Structure 1
Amino acid sequence: MKKWNILLLTFAISLMTTGAFAHAIWIETANTGQIGKAQTVRIYYGEFVDGERDSVAKWYSDIKDLELWLVGPDQKKIKLKTTAAANYYEAKFTPGSNGAYTLTISHQAKELGGETKYHFLASADVTVGKPAGKSTVFVNSLQLQKSEITSAQVNKQIMLKASHNNSDAAKMKVSVFSPNGWSKELTTDTTGSVSFLPPFPGRYVIEISDMDKTAGEHYGKPYQETWSGATYSFEVK
């Protein structure tokens, strides 16, 4: 009986771990904005490729306590107020000048999945007017980004740049998810770059993940590894 209970516990932990790995947070907002006009931003948690957006009440651990930050053209970082709805958190900001705006989230879940710590990250860009130069701003420890996001079009090559701990995220796996269930697995090159041709219009979510085998302690509990998953979301016309 004792052996059977241990097996059941191991299986339960495995299911919990698998569920947390499969899920992600992502940001949805329009690619472009206007000076003086409020921009709506929504944060979801679930399985984008399956059209699954979990109700806020069922979000894993303390993910609902995440913080949403905005980096403007002046590179100043501002925390945005979020309000809970049925299955998302919503925020608004009003651009005060032309330029590139980056929305970012970085949240380490309080609860461990077995001996694994989970780090959820997300980002999205908003272009206002015609910003000068490249808009790429890396503010998270693991992040994907594309400059000139307004140029995203069906069957037109999209180039993304990945960063990991302020360095090029070379030879890392990247997953591309489309609005209709189509997906593609890619690998970044030695400079952290990766590209793909979007076959359909609509919102895409790109995900990159990393497993760090460094052990440590989190909220008084020991862990053996840290899983980090970062998403980048944008619309394709």
Structure 2
Amino acid sequence: MRILKATLLVCLCFFTYIQVQAHALWIETATYGKLGTAHDVKVFYGEFALNERDAPEKWYSDVKDFTLWLVAPDGKKSQLKTIPGQAYYSSSFTPENEGVYTLMVSHEAAELGGTTKYHFVSSAYVSIGKSSKVDAGLNENGLKLYADNHEIFAKNKPVKLFAYLNGKPLANKPVNVASPEGWSKEVMTDENGMLSFLPLWPGRYVAEAQNFEKVTGNHNGKDFDAAWVGSTFSFEVK
């Protein structure tokens, strides 16, 4: 009986690990906005490449309790109110200045996946006016993906992104890129944390970088021996 219980516990932990690893948190919002006009934002959790968007009550652990932050071009940071929907949380903001606005989420799940601590991160950008230059320093997420210039990219033309971890390039690591057609591919970063790929279809894409470390600690009263962080960045292709 003890052996059976132990086996079931191991299987449950493994299932939880696989389930969490397969899912991600991401932000969807239009690339461009207008001064003085409310701009909509949606936050999803699920599997983008499979077109799976989980209902908030099915999100892992307490991930639904995330905080959505907005950073204006001048560096002013504010928390946005989020409202649960059938398959996402919605929010909005009204831009008061021209420039590129940064949207951020960074949430450590309360529960461990087995003995692993999970940290869900996401970023998105909105261009207001003619400016499209991204100030990556305004994004406080430890692991982040971004493009130097925020714009709607064109299919069959290279898209160049950068991945950074704690202020340093995420060098020689795979980044998963998924398209609205169900296509996904791992693209390696170079020594500068840069990756490039050719989008073949129009629509919204989601790129995800991950980092896994064997570290020990205590999280909400439970010991862990590994820490995982996954960071997403969504963008549009025309």
CA displacement at 1:31 relative to structure 2: 0.5
Check conservation: 1:152, 1:236, Cα contact below 8 A.
yes
Q: What's the secondary structure of 2:131's corresponding residue?
A: coil
Residues 136-161 of structure 1 show CA distances to partners (whole Å, capped at 9, x for unaligned) of: 34320000001222141111111101
Call closer, same or farther: CA 1:13–1:134 in 2, change over 3 Å.
Answer: closer
Q: Corresponding residue for 2:202?
A: 201
Check conservation: 1:174, 1:187, Cα contact below 8 A.
yes
Q: Corresponding residue for 2:95?
A: 95
Residues 1:169 and 2:137 are matched in the alignment? no
Q: CA RMSD in A?
A: 1.1
Q: What's the secondary structure of 1:171's corresponding residue?
A: coil
Q: Corresponding residue for 2:84?
A: 84
Residues 1:110 and 2:110 are matched in the alignment? yes
CA displacement at 1:133 relative to structure 2: 4.4
Question: What's the TM-score once normalised by structure 1's chain length?
Answer: 0.97
1:107-186 pair list within 5 angstroms: 107-131=107-131, 133-137=133-137, 138-186=139-187
CA displacement at 1:3 relative to structure 2: 1.1
**Gapped regions of structure 2 (runs ≥ 5):** none
- The AA in structure 2 aligned to 1:154 is K
Q: CA separation in 2, counterparts of 1:18 and 1:75?
A: 38
Q: Corresponding residue for 2:55?
A: 55
Q: CA separation in 2, counterparts of 1:69 and 1:147?
A: 20
Q: CA separation in 1, counterparts of 2:162 and 2:237?
A: 17
- The AA in structure 1 aligned to 2:84 is A
Q: What's the secondary structure of 1:203's corresponding residue?
A: strand
Q: How many residues align?
A: 237
Q: What's the secondary structure of 2:8's corresponding residue?
A: helix
Call closer, same or farther: CA 1:208–1:132 in 2, change over 3 Å.
Answer: closer
Q: CA separation in 2, counterparts of 1:4 and 1:183?
A: 38
Q: CA separation in 2, counterparts of 1:83 and 1:89?
A: 5
Check conservation: 2:133, 2:149, Cα contact below 8 A.
no
- The AA in structure 2 aligned to 1:131 is S
Residues 1:46 and 2:46 are matched in the alignment? yes
**Gapped regions of structure 1 (runs ≥ 5):** none
CA displacement at 1:78 relative to structure 2: 1.0
CA displacement at 1:120 relative to structure 2: 0.2
Q: CA separation in 2, counterparts of 1:213 and 1:127?
A: 38
Q: CA separation in 2, counterparts of 1:133 and 1:230?
A: 21
Q: CA separation in 2, counterparts of 1:209 and 1:139?
A: 16
Q: CA separation in 2, counterparts of 1:189 and 1:36?
A: 40
Check conservation: 2:56, 2:84, Cα contact below 8 A.
yes
Check conservation: 2:172, 2:189, Cα contact below 8 A.
yes
Runs of 4+ in structure 1 off by over 2 angstroms are 132-138
CA displacement at 1:112 relative to structure 2: 0.4
Call closer, same or farther: CA 1:113–1:231 in 2, change over 3 Å.
Answer: same
1:64-79 pair list within 5 angstroms: 64-79=64-79
Q: What's the secondary structure of 1:149's corresponding residue?
A: coil
Call closer, same or farther: CA 1:17–1:35 in 2, change over 3 Å.
Answer: same
